[in-house]
Amino acid sequence: MAIRDGILLVDKPSGMTSHDVVNFTRKNLGTRRIGHTGILDPNATGLLVLLVERGTLFSSFLTGMPKRYYARFKFGIATDTYDADGQVTSTSDPGNVPRRQFEELLGNFRGEIEQAIPTFSAVKRGGKTFHKLARKGVQFNPGLKVVEIKNIGIIEYDWPEAVLDIKCSSGTYVRSLAHQMGASLGCGGYLKSLRRTEVGPFRISEAHTLEDISRSREPLKLLRPLREALPSSPLIRIKPQYCGAVINGRPLVKRYIGENEYSGEGGVLSVLLGPDEKVLALAKLNMQWRSLERMGPSDIMGTYVRVIDEGHIGAK
């Protein structure tokens, strides 16, 4: 079976890096053109969204989507990495924090917050990677970043541990949340375990284990269509005779359009599909057109955000 474009949802096991999982799927799918949309630490488990073939061109859209995690925090201990992999830097009696008091604490971490960037992280500044500097014992201030905690709630509560359901913006360090909560309580805290359950529109319940992939006689049938990467974007189908024109980046005009789901104001990111349901391009329609019906057959509809062809990406 020929390699096709698509999205593969994988349930990453503990003990593997995200790159290990990518290499595993490359071998089983028979292609090297596979990328991920956000790494998980080796001891973390859960949803990895892998993009296959032309799907890799969607990476920037999916990388920035919100994430959801189940996270176990332990209090009374702090580590230098803010998680279970680090060296213990302090221990303290966590006392007895009633659930109601802890729920009140969670309220301080909802919405936009400033978050401490871990010194042991992949962030680069001035060409230097933080975790490499930290392992050399270099002292530096990693700084703060603004993230959004869209929702945070308690799943299990057995003090001094709590399992939390956290929905957050891309780029949030869940281990920093544990560290900051521990600091607020005055006893320290760290991330004991982490499982990612959602990335944008995708859910862990839809993911395949590595065993599923290796046992499948036709693993390519596990791929999901690329158009699912942008579920809220209108689908606009291009007439077969004009697919080549779209792929070649010629001006997008009304006569190219067959069926479409577009309505409302322009400027909305839209997915242009060929007759085989393959994604041809992403485009934003002109703001002056509130309805395609008001357009003339030769009016320029808008601008391509991405023109997708075998190995080609461009902005027109």
Model pLDDT for residues 238-287, shown as the tens digit of each residue: 999 999 999 888 888 888 888 777 766 677 888 888 887 788 888 887 76
- The full set of domain ranges for the chain reads 6-65+201-226, 67-199, 233-314
CATH 2.30.130.10 fits 233-314, yes or no: yes
| For residue 292, pLDDT beyond 80 | no
**Residue 214 pLDDT class (50, 70, 90 cuts):** very high
Which segment, 3-17, 47-61, 96-110, 124-138, is predicted with the most confidence on average?
A: 96-110
Q: What is the spatial distance between Cα 164 and Cα 27, in angstroms, rounded to a whole number?
A: 35
67-199 matches 6-65+201-226 in CATH topology:
yes
Average pLDDT over residues 41-46: 92
- Is residue 276 classed exposed, middle or buried when 0-12, 13-18 and 19+ CB atoms within 10 A define those classes? exposed
Short-list 159, 209, 161, 186, CA closest to 9: 209
Q: Domain 67-199 adopts which CATH fold?
A: Pseudouridine synthase (3.30.2350)
Among 52-61, 103-112, 125-134, the range scoring the smallest mean pLDDT is 125-134
Query: pLDDT tens digits, residue range 70-109?
Result: 999 999 999 999 999 899 999 999 999 999 999 999 999 9
| 42: preceding bond cis by omega (within 30 degrees) | no
Among 5-9, 46-50, 67-71, 224-228, the range scoring the smallest mean pLDDT is 224-228
| Torsion angles phi and psi, residue 102, rounded to 5 | -70, -40
Q: What is the spatial distance between Cα 122 and Cα 120, in angstroms, rounded to a whole number?
A: 7
| Torsion angles phi and psi, residue 28, rounded to 5 | -75, -30
DSSP tag of 28: H
| 160: preceding bond cis by omega (within 30 degrees) | yes
pTM of the model: 0.84
Short-list 205, 221, 207, 226, CA closest to 273: 226
DSSP 251-276: PPBGGGEEEE---SSS--EEEEE-TT
177 contacts 185 by C-beta, under 8 angstroms: no
Among 17-21, 135-139, 241-245, 266-270, the range scoring the smallest mean pLDDT is 135-139
Average pLDDT over residues 213-217: 93
| For residue 55, pLDDT beyond 70 | yes
Average pLDDT over residues 118-125: 72
Q: What is the spatial distance between Cα 194 and Cα 184, in angstroms, rounded to a whole number?
A: 21
| For residue 4, pLDDT beyond 60 | yes
CATH 3.30.365.10 fits 6-65+201-226, yes or no: no
Structure tokens at 202: 């995708």
Catalytic center residues: 41
